[in-house]
A and B are shown apart, each in its own frame.
Chain A
Amino acid sequence: MSSVRLLKYASRRLALLPVQLLLVSLIVFVLVRQMPGDPTFLYTGPFATTERVAEVRKQLGLDEPTYVQYVRYLERIAYGDFGLSMRTSQPVVADLRQRLPATMELILYAVVFSVLIGVPLGVYTAIRSKGALNRGVFVYGMTSGALPDFWFALVAIFIFFYKLHWLPGPIGRIDLLISKPQNISGLYTVDALLTGNWPALASASGQLVLPVATLVFIYMSLVLKNTRSAMEDMLRSEFVTYARAAGLPRLMQWRYALRNAMPPIITVTGILTWFLLGGAVLVETVFAWGGLGQYAVQSVVNSDYAALQAVVLFSAVFTMVIFLLVDLAYFLIDPRIK
């Protein structure tokens, strides 16, 4: 019964995706045209003859009207052709495929821990609105939003790597002397676990601690604050008051409140995931993570436009998928959504 309902809703919601994609691709197309100078010279060099320039322009399709160029561009990305990266001399798609799992692993753990810590803490501080923990959480909420994540990462490296030697240094996802686990999902921890490769698991987990802790510390307050305020609203709601008047135990009242606070909590988890894709850029750079974020930075610094364009397009698609999942979760929780 409800699975039919879900399928119907999901298919309606999915039908929106192509339209959104088209608009996003248009933005990226316009963005690429913002580049200073004529991209032809990137291929011909600055001293080419007029004939040679015209020839390359024709090859690149730059002599055609803009809308034709846009359609061509759409055709190419439909076939997954994002061109060659000028920096790595590889197809951009291959580059992305290689780097994506690194970023996903980072974001995944950051989201999971933010939710596992932020939600209970938010619920607790909503229920007990006084006390030292509450004041601590307030100060944390204020400061974590103001601190730059890349700076926090550096300070953490200084303390835990340089001073205390508790954790490995910022040398990427795994110790250089340990061989990578066999590639299954691309997430080193998962693959190492699946193949029983304990040294790789230990090393990959150790490398994850600081970047994940940085992201969790800086961005968890988003989850914490929203959980607390949603929970506070719900605890004050008429139906929780009535549940109390009907003699329901405390725990049940809190469950009523939490269930109704779930939609905002899910939304903020989606927003967090979306934000982390951007936040990961800087943290990846600090930890030499070799993921999508670092790839984006290197393409900007090296004017690798094909690569940059693909990253931007991917990040938008990622965003859409995240918010699609948020909508579906909403739908499962709230029977009022048609």
Chain B
Amino acid sequence: MSSDNPSLPATPLPRVGQQTAWRDFLSFTRQRGGFQLGLAIVALSLGLAVFGPHIGPYPTETALPGMPLQPPSWRHWMGTDVSNMDIFSRVIAAPRIDLTIALVSTAIAFAGGVALGVISGFFGGGRGVPKLLSEGIMRAADIIQAFPVFIFALALVGFRGPGTENVIAALAFLNIPYFLRITRGAVLQVRERPFVEAQRCAGNSEWRIAFVHVMPNALTPPLANISPTIGFSILLTSGLSFVGAGVPVPTPEWGSMIAIGAPNMMTGQWWTALFPGLVLGIVILGYALVGDGLKEFLDPVNKR
């Protein structure tokens, strides 16, 4: 039997009154300065990821002629580093690589985490092979999360060698258990709703119910966690690059720029590491603010 059977209760997708939802969102946003700031930062960072490498006044990967380590001036807004590269041009070019890594790894972690979360949540407490699968997934997540995050990231990159793809793979792997748990929690609630039983009576297979009917209704919590995960991934990427296990020099990347500037901080050239870190902090703050705002907006308790 087709699940499109009109006699069945409709899967309660939040499609009803999309316009109202949008208006709710706008009025919610208008009341919250922090959320607005976060959205602005996120939008700016995405814009820089696209255009950043092309709009800076100087090349981003080559040394300029002249003396290195020039302090900030009208010519070099954030000064120049030890190889006489323009820091401002590099700082605004960095989102290209940092955001690519963060977005791709978060997307993979989201897809993998949600899929596994649906399986482990929907089939948990059942019997037979799916139950074993569910248990296995949870135990694996436990073990992955038994390692301190940064050390595990370092080890993953260490064993596979540095490079963008390996950083993406490591971050995706690390974040999967996180999305998995959040999704599983939501699925455990959704699967108790009456429409699930209705779909079962209509003769749908369990797997179809899990992925076609339950999953769309359990997506809100993992979706709300995308933004903070992106911020966290940027932070980890910069940390890996800082110790030379992430994005190799001279690619403009905040963490590696801070590493380049680190020795100069001890000899007074404060601009070398200050600006990349400041921008990095602001961007991560932006993603955290957006995450907090979305969580509050989507949380049914606060919605009233």
Contacts and interface: CB of A to CB of B under 8 A. Distances in A.
Interface of A: 20, 23-24, 27, 31-32, 34-36, 142-143, 145-148, 150-152, 154-155, 157-158, 161-163, 169-170, 274-275, 277-279, 281-282, 285-286, 293, 296-297, 299-301, 303, 305, 308, 311-312, 315-316, 318-320
Contacts of A20: 143, 146
A163 B273 CA distance: 15
A145 B266 contact: no
A161 B154 contact: no
B268 interface: yes
A31 B146 contact: no
A155 B274 contact: yes
A282 to B, nearest CB: 5
Contacts of A297: 154, 243-245
Interface in B123-150: 139, 143-144, 146-150
Interface stretch (B61-69, B71-79, B89-97, B278-286): B278-286
Contacts of B161: 36, 303
Nearest to A274: B148
A65 to B, nearest CB: 21
B157 interface: yes
Contact of B146 (A35, A162, A316): A316
Given A146-B284, A281-B154, A155 B265 contact: yes
A161 B262 CA distance: 14
Contacts of B265: 154-155, 157-158, 162
A277 B238 contact: no
Interface of B: 34, 139, 143-144, 146-152, 154-161, 231, 235, 238-239, 242-245, 255, 258, 261-262, 265-268, 270, 273-274, 276-277, 280-282, 284-285, 288-289
Interface of B is mostly: helix
B163 to A, nearest CB: 11
Contacts of B231: 146
B245 A300 contact: yes
Given A36-B161, A274-B148, A278-B150, A142 B285 contact: yes
Nearest to A273: B148
B256 to A, nearest CB: 12
Contacts of B239: 148, 150, 281-282
Contacts of B273: 151, 154-155
A278 B149 contact: yes
A34 B173 CA distance: 14
Given A27-B143, A296-B151, A315-B148, A148 B270 contact: no
Q: Which 6 A-B pairs have the closest CB atoms?
A: A151-B277, A278-B150, A300-B158, A278-B148, A146-B285, A146-B284
B82 to A, nearest CB: 14
A34 B159 contact: yes
A274 B147 CA distance: 8
Most buried by A among B238, B243, B245, B258: B243
A204 to B, nearest CB: 20
B242 A285 contact: yes
Given A36-B160, A148-B255, A301-B243, 16 more contacts: A34-B160, A143-B285, A148-B238, A148-B277, A151-B273, A154-B265, A154-B277, A275-B149, A277-B151, A281-B150, A296-B151, A297-B245, A303-B158, A311-B151, A316-B147, A320-B146
Nearest to B280: A148
A305 B154 CA distance: 12
A316 B148 CA distance: 7
B146 A312 contact: no
B159 A151 contact: no
Nearest to A311: B151
Contacts of A319: 146-148
A276 to B, nearest CB: 8
Contacts of B159: 31-32, 34-35, 305, 308
A170 B288 CA distance: 31
B277 A285 contact: no
7 contacts: A34-B160, A148-B242, A155-B270, A293-B151, A296-B154, A315-B147, A319-B148
Given A20-B146, A158-B270, A308-B159, A150 B154 contact: no
Nearest to B155: A312
Contacts of A315: 147-148, 151-152
Contact of B155 (A31, A282, A293): A31
Given A158-B265, A277-B151, A308 B158 contact: yes
A279 B238 CA distance: 13
Given A31-B159, A145-B288, A282-B243, A158 B147 contact: no
B258 A151 contact: yes
Contacts of B238: 148
A28 B159 CA distance: 10
Nearest to B292: A142
A319 B152 CA distance: 12
A36 B274 CA distance: 36
A170 B150 CA distance: 22
B150 A279 contact: yes
Contacts of A35: 159-160
Nearest to A169: B266
A154 B258 CA distance: 9
Contacts of A275: 148-149
Nearest to B145: A319
A162 B242 contact: no
Given A154-B258, A300-B154, A281 B243 contact: yes
B148 A148 contact: no
Contact of B280 (A24, A151, A155, A308): A151
Contact of A312 (B152, B242, B262): B152
A312 B147 contact: yes
B231 to A, nearest CB: 7
Given A281-B243, A312-B152, A151 B147 contact: no
